[in-house]
Every structure is written in C-alpha cells, then in structure tokens.
C-alpha cells in the first residue's frame, strides 16, 4: 500500500447508487474544501449544495437546452457535433443524490494591472494566464474530491457546461454579488467499486530536476 493511499482513491465517478449522502459527511467534505490554500487568504469560494432530486434533474435539463440552443446557432457542423458529443458528460450528474455547485468571486490582480499600466503586456499576460483566483477554486475542489473519496464517496469535477451558468444561477435562486458559477461535482456512493483511472504520463515526461 502506498503511504499516500488517500490520493489514489480519487477517481472520476459518473454512476451512483441511490444511497443518501449524510449531511454530516457533506459538511465534513466541505470543511476540507475550505481548508485549501488561497491567494491573499481571500477564500473566494462559495458552495451551493443541491439535494432536491427534481432540482438536480432540472439543472441537467437546463444544460441540455442551453447546449442545443448554442449548437443550433452555429453553422459549423464539426463544431456542433463536437459540442453535442460532450453533452452526456455535462449532464450525467442528474442521477446523483447530491450536486455541489462551486462559485468564485472576483480576485484582485494588482500585479496584472500594474504591469499593464507600465506597458509590460507580455509579463501582464503571464499573470493573467496564471489566474490566481481560479487556482484557489482548483485547490478547494481537489480537497473536496480527495475528502469525498477518502470517505467512500464518488465525485467528478465538471467545468464544461459553465456556459449555462446564468440559467443555472437563476434556477437555484443564487444571487451573491460578484460570484459566478465556475465548477460543479456530483457526490454519491459509486455504483461500482471497481473504478478505473486513465493512465498517467510517466514522471520523466512531466518532471524536470535542476540540481
């Protein structure tokens, strides 16, 4: 057994049983998420937990409708086909007992503004590319996923259908000033105990040592 076994428990789970996720476990998972690092300690995240099955189904339907609307607006057949191909991966959460929506607030980027104002555009673009505010959300999401897996639950990081964020926010009645939907994950007991992971690139391909 690996010493960091809890890391390797995490898999992208897309099928769930009807078992209820206890509120205690949801709270524990969210508590772990909020202990992620965040730039300037702004903790620019907000989590909305949806447990109403009808509402979860409604959100999946909204994504389907918005996706089809976007597809109908394009004359590029390949682009349309490519978008519709992913629809099933954007809505599989409809059968999960819990859906967690993750919102982010604006993140002040002082170095970016400064560099841009003094004409250092390329350097400013590097700051923007790093997107510190979204990195905070990524850290919180990973904590959430690891905590869920360690408690025996499955989850799956979803960011593809955020183009339907306005409609989703309206449907759940969430209106916290400055916050926008940036990610979501279903949460539930995996339907199968055998969850496969796609192969990872070898370390020598993704790691450089400088001694």
> Does residue 96 belong to any structural domain of this protein?
yes
pLDDT tens, 125-162? 998 888 999 999 999 999 999 999 999 999 999 999 99
> Does residue 195 belong to any structural domain of this protein?
yes
51 CB-side CA count, 13 A = 8
CATH classification at residue 96: 3.40.109.10
> Does residue 211 belong to any structural domain of this protein?
no
Return the SS3 of 31: helix
State the total domains in the chain. Answer: 1
* Residue 37 lies in domain: 5-206
What is the pLDDT at residue 208? 97
- Under the banding of pLDDT at 50, 70 and 90, the label for residue 71 is very high
What is the pLDDT at residue 1? 60
pLDDT tens, 32-56? 999 999 999 999 999 999 999 999 9
**What's the mean per-residue pLDDT of the chain?**
95
Asked if pLDDT for residue 10 goes beyond 90, the answer is yes
The residue with greater pLDDT, 145 or 198, is: 145
What is the pLDDT at residue 82? 93
pTM of the model: 0.94
Asked if pLDDT for residue 29 goes beyond 70, the answer is yes
- In Å, the largest CA–CA distance within the chain is 57
> Does residue 175 belong to any structural domain of this protein?
yes
Check if the beta carbon of residue 102 is closer than 8 Å to that of residue 182: yes
> Does residue 114 belong to any structural domain of this protein?
yes
Q: How far apart are CA 116 and CA 134, in angstroms?
A: 20
Structure tokens at 153: 């639950």
């Amino acid at each position: 057994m690996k010493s960091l076994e809890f890391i390797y428990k995490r898999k992208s789970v897309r099928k769930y049983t009807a078992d209820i996720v206890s509120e205690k476990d949801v709270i524990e998972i969210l508590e772990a998420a909020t202990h992620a690092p965040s730039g300037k300690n702004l903790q620019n995240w907000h989590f909305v937990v949806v447990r109403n099955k009808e509402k979860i189904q409604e959100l999946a339907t909204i994504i389907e409708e918005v996706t089809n609307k976007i597809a109908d607006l394009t004359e590029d057949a390949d682009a349309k086909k490519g978008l519709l191909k992913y629809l099933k991966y954007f809505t599989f959460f409809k059968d999960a007992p819990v859906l967690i929506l993750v919102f982010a607030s604006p993140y002040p980027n002082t170095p970016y503004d400064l560099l841009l104002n003094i004409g250092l555009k390329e350097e400013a673009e590097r700051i923007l590319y790093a997107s510190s505010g979204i990195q905070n959300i990524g850290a919180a999401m990973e904590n959430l996923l690891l905590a869920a897996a360690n408690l025996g639950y499955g989850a799956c990081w979803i960011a593809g259908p955020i183009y339907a964020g306005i409609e989703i926010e309206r449907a759940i009645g969430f209106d916290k000033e400055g916050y926008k939907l940036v990610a979501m994950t279903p949460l539930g007991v995996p339907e199968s105990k055998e969850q496969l992971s796609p192969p990872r690139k070898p370390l020598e391909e993704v790691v450089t040592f400088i001694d």
